[in-house]
A and B are shown apart, each in its own frame.
Chain A
Amino acid sequence: MNFIKELPRGLGLRASTVIVLVALALTVSTLLTTVGAFDGQPQTAPSTIPEPSEHANDPEANLPFLFAVYMITWGAFFAYIFYVSRRQREMQGEIDALKRALDQQEQAEAQSQSES
Chain B
Amino acid sequence: MAQTSITQPVTGSSATYSTRSYLRDGLLIVSAALMAVTLYMVFMWVPTEQNLGVSQRIFYFHVPLGWIGMLSIVVVAVASLMHLITGKEKWDSLAYATAELGVIFATLILVTGAIWARPVWGVWWTWDAKLTTTLVLWFIYVGYLMIRAYGPSGTQGKRYASVIALIGAIDSPIIYKATDWWRTAHPERNVPSDLASEMLLTLLVAMVTFTVLYAYLLVERYSLRKSESDLDELHQRTA
Interface residues in chain A, defined as those with a beta carbon under 8 Å from any beta carbon in chain B: 1, 4, 13-14, 17, 20-21, 24-25, 28, 31-32, 35, 37-38, 40-56, 58-63, 65-66, 68-70, 72-73, 76-77, 80-81, 84-85, 87-88, 91-92, 94-95, 98-99, 101-103, 105-106, 109-110
Q: What does DSSP make chain A's interface, helix, strand, loop or mixed?
A: helix
Inter-chain contacts of A38 with B (CB < 8 A): 48, 54
Interface assignment of B35: CB less than 8 Å from any CB of chain A: yes
Does B173 make an interface contact (CB < 8 A)?
no
For the complex, is B154 an interface residue (Cβ under 8 Å from A)?
A: no
- Give the interface size class of chain B: 35 or more
Q: Is the CB of B50 within 8 A of A43?
A: yes
Contact A95 B196 (CB under 8 A): no
Which of these, A41, A62, A76, A110, contacts B54 with CB under 8 Å? A62
Chain B residues, CB < 8 A from A14: 25, 28
B43 with A98: CB separation less than 8 A:
no
Q: Is B149 an interface residue (CB 8 A)?
A: no
**Residues B52 and A52 in contact, CB atoms below 8 Å apart:** yes
A37-B43, A56-B53 known; A106 vs B6 contact (CB < 8 Å): yes
Q: Check: B39 CB closer than 8 A to any chain A CB.
A: yes
